[in-house]
Amino acid sequence: MRGSIDGLESSAPLGGMLPAVFAEDDLAQRFVAGLDEVLAPIHNVLDCLEAYFDPSLAPVDFTRWLGDWVGAETDGVESEAVLRAAVAAAAGLHRIRGTRRGLAEAVRLAFGVEPEITESGAAAWDARPLGPVPGEPRPRLHVAVALPDPTPADRHRLETVVAAARPAHMPYTVQVTAAERTPHR
């Protein structure tokens, strides 16, 4: 949280900006020195403003707010590293939202694993008009992830991510399973 910091000096002290008649006035100098102490954190934030809009540099609480601002898919309980990655990727994800690639990337950011996505759609090209329509007649989307230690909350989180990143018209299902553990040799 931003606030007063003991010993923080103002980057623009008011005492030196006073008219010459107050330059030697002890009362005026002490009065504006008190204001400098109050304004120093504000000047500090303004001096570093560009860092507040970089998710890798901003304070965590500001990064959470920035995530709300850019529409990052976060749930408030993710680690700091996941939060920062989600906020940094939000604008790029909005460009590919509703595509298979966008859905896969959103799930990868939320869970750190590659999702298995099956869908009913397809694309084809034919030189003749009125060719067969590719894909299945009934739209469907299924997203599955295998996690090391899945919890019931993971299924809810996956459902939330898929609902936000899928094509708007697609009915969907989700599945969370336990990842197979490889034996140690």
Domains of the chain: 15-47 (no CATH), 101-185 (3.30.300)
Residue-level pLDDT at 185? 59
Which is higher by pLDDT, 39 or 101? 101
Alpha-carbon span 12 to 170, nearest angstrom: 56
Which sign, positive or negative, has the C-alpha torsion 44, 49, 55, 61? Answer: positive
Residue 184 confidence (pLDDT) above 90:
no
Residue-level pLDDT at 46? 87
Element of type H or E holding 94: helix 80-95
Query: What's the chain's average pLDDT?
Result: 87
Q: How do residues 96-151 score in pLDDT, each as one tens digit?
A: 998 999 999 999 998 989 999 999 888 788 888 888 888 888 889 999 999 998 99
Which is higher by pLDDT, 138 or 8? 138
34: exposed, middle or buried (C-beta count within 10 Å: 0-12, 13-18, 19+)?
A: exposed
Q: Does the predicted model carry a pTM greater than 0.75?
A: no
Residue 1 confidence (pLDDT) above 80:
no
Alpha-carbon span 152 to 144, nearest angstrom: 14
C-alpha 53: how far from chain center: 12
